Amino acid sequence: MKQGIGRIVLGISAVCLLLGSSLSALAETIKVGAIFAVTGPASFLGGPAARSAEMLVEQINQAGGINGQPIELIIKDSAGSSERAVSFARQLIEEERVVAIVGPSTSGESMAVKKIAEDAKTVLISCAAAEVIVDPVARYVFKTPQKDSFAAQKIFAEMQRLGIDTIAIAAGNDGFGKAGKEQLEKLAPTFDITVAASETYDSKATDLSALVAKLKANPSIGAVVNWSIVPAQAIIAKNMRQSGWDVPLFQSHGFGNIKYAEAAGVAAEGIIFPSGRLLVADALPEDDPQKAMLIQYKTEYEARYQEEASAFGGYAYDAINIVVEALRQAGNDRDGVRDAIEGLQGFAGIGGVFSFSPEDHNGLDIDSFVMLTVKDGTFTLYERQ
């Protein structure tokens, strides 16, 4: 990707030199940084994000760039390491002088980078889910995934409708799991739901049967909410079904990739989880404001990469589009881009319709989520019982 942009710049520069004119300004690129976990244990997040960002930037450049200037997308692979993310953020800001940074992929990395972006007055649009990334609001920090609290509220609302009033929470010990667990514990009382057990486990665990046995021993528990990323999403489902425990299993919005359901096999059947609309784009009504973009993104991504589109790639796709819209409005200026993003209203994306404000740097409401389930090995809209 970067090599292609480099060739474009060299070509324009050569023309300018030959003509002896001031057209050399055309050779300037707009540098946008990205930090994704392309490799490592969080590659299921960063891989689709990097591919989505590359695809979109290539399309934008082929269409003429931003006001005639191409985007140079500089992707750094953090491999999910907060230390590497911090180092790359400093490099992108201080050496590359990027106008904005998209990512990182995980909540822990995003929190580690947040202060660096804020201190350097450089826009950061995180592709991670934890609500603490934007709460409290930091002037230069935004995020595209829906809020943890909205996911928790959608789960609890479904539980109320099913008559479930006592639950267990299981969460990974990473930044995403900890943030989700806190939201679940905080919001449960407002839905008259009792948390009978709230457990944290190693997010890299390969066997959760002991935890499942401990929870199953409490007969009052009517459902389990698991808040984690792979591999635990599939493992807890398998261990529950292997033990013969058939209470409903709810997962977080981090479950939004069909590969996770495939990893769990038949144990995934019936899992309920909140998600953006991408995974059920074809089932949306024609007047849905997101449908056209969802179908376009899904079609182009799957044709190019021969894999199903996921919400995680959508987070980066939205972040790049938001930066691009701000660049069109404000030009290649860090403060101008920041102000333009904060002023975006009704901006349809993959994750929802974004309306930012000085008080809200996520820009999505609870209706950005729908509830999905696994049926016959595929994701489908959840039909209430």
Distance CA 273, CA 255 (A): 7
Helix, strand, coil content of the chain in percent (nearest 5): 50, 20, 30
Say how many CA atoms lie within 13 Å of 216 toward its Cβ: 17
**Predicted pLDDT of residue 203:** 87
C-alpha 336/C-alpha 184 separation (Å) is 37
Encode pLDDT of 196-220 as tens digits. 999 999 988 999 999 999 999 999 9
Read off the pLDDT band of 149 (50, 70, 90). very high
Mean pLDDT of 341-366: 97
CA distances from 281 to 289, 353, 380 (A): 11, 14, 10
**Mean pLDDT calculated for residue range 294-312:** 96
**pLDDT value of residue 79:** 97
Provide the pLDDT for residue 119. 98
Please report where in the chains the tokens 């995180």 appear, as a residue.
Answer: 126
Name the average pLDDT for the chain: 91
Query: Which of 16-20, 169-173, 250-254, 258-262 shows the lowest per-residue confidence on average (mean pLDDT)?
Result: 16-20
Please choose, from the candidates 263, 291, 265, 264, the residue with its C-alpha nearest in 3D space to the C-alpha of residue 278: 291
CA distances to 117, 143, 366, 369, 384 from 323, in Å: 15, 12, 23, 23, 38
The CB density around residue 171, as the number of other CB atoms within 10 Å, is 25
Q: Give the model's pLDDT for residue 19.
A: 39
Provide the terminal-to-terminal Cα distance of the chain, rounded to the nearest Å: 48
**Secondary structure of residue 170 in the 3-state scheme:** strand
Residue pLDDT, tens place only, 52-78: 999 999 999 999 999 899 999 999 999
To 10 degrees, the CA torsion angle through 186, 144, 127, 74?
-160
The helix (H) or strand (E) run that includes residue 16 is: helix 2-19
pLDDT winner (highest mean) among 10-19, 116-125, 259-268, 285-294 = 116-125
Residue 259 confidence (pLDDT): 86
Per-residue model confidence (pLDDT) at position 384: 63
Return the closest-CA partner of residue 354 out of 92, 143, 202: 143
Query: In the predicted model, is pLDDT for residue 5 greater than 70?
Result: no
Q: What percent of the chain has pLDDT over 70?
A: 92
Structure tokens, 50: 């990097």
* Average pLDDT score over residue span 372-384: 91
How far apart are alpha carbons 5 and 149 in whole angstroms? 40
Higher pLDDT, 217 or 2: 217
Q: How far apart are CA 372 and CA 274, in angstroms?
A: 6
Which is higher by pLDDT, 14 or 385? 385
Mean pLDDT of 132-149: 96
* Domains of the chain, first to last: 2-146+292-354 (3.40.50.2300), 148-275+369-381 (3.40.50.2300)
CA dist 181 and 195 (Å) reads 11
Q: Mean pLDDT throughout 134-151? A: 96
- Tell me the average pLDDT across 233-241: 96
The pTM score is 0.88
Report which of 13, 16, 17 is spatially closest to residue 29, judged by C-alpha positions. 13
Do the Cβ atoms of 257 and 45 come closer than 8 Å?
no
Q: For residue range 361-375, list pLDDT tens digits in order.
A: 999 999 999 999 999
